[in-house]
Amino acid sequence: MFLGLSLWLQSHPVHITVVNIEPKADKAVFEVSCKIFTDDLEHAILLYSQNNIMLTQNRPVSNIHQLLCDYIASKLMIYINNKAIPKEKIRFIKYTVVEDATWIYLEYPITSKINSLEIFNDLLNQLYPDMTNLVIINWGNEEQGLTFTKHNTRIKVQ
């Protein structure tokens, strides 16, 4: 059993997620898309909620939208003026599985005029010590790339 778990945990030579954050002033939201290896996502949600979402078996559970939204909202937070956007206000749009990755689409409402912006990203950090979470955000008329790790989970956007 231990050997099987060890092999499963090492199935990807690279441990990475990619998140895109696009502010949409006309809709007063941040459009967020997350690309995560499907088997890693399943394992993370199993550890987080004790629910097997069964994406790799192509038989997703009936409450998959809620499970995906709950996990992402707890591990990816946007802070406006030092206040996190409330999890219950985050809107799940959809998910799609493309080859070995799952794309998850959400909207985080822009709740006030933004004087400061911070991102917290702790996606999959409980799975791998070498986890890297990349965030690409269009902010201040430029695209910025932010790198999050197990020891660097919160970054102020300049």
- Contacts for 146 with CB less than 8 Å, ≥ 6 apart: 119, 121, 134, 135, 136, 137, 155, 157
Report the domain count for the chain.
1
* Residue 126: inside a domain: yes
* Residue 10: inside a domain: no
Phi, psi of 150 (to 5 degrees): -55, -35
* Residue 54: inside a domain: yes
What is the pLDDT at residue 6? 40
* pTM for the structure as a whole: 0.89
* Residue 5: inside a domain: no
What is the pLDDT at residue 18? 97
Please state, in angstroms and as integers, the Cα–Cα distance from residue 101 to each residue in 12, 70, 97, following that order: 12, 19, 6
What is the pLDDT at residue 63? 95
* Residue 3: inside a domain: no
What is the pLDDT at residue 27? 94
* Residue 151: inside a domain: yes
* Residue 96: inside a domain: yes
Strand partners, 107: 31, 91
Q: Which range marks the domain in which residue 131 is found? A: 16-157
Q: What is the pLDDT along the chain (158 residues), one digit of tens a residue?
A: 333 334 444 455 789 999 999 999 899 999 999 999 999 999 999 999 999 999 988 899 999 999 999 999 999 999 999 999 999 999 999 999 998 999 999 999 998 999 999 999 999 999 999 999 999 999 888 999 999 999 999 999 98
d(CA 91, CA 109): 8
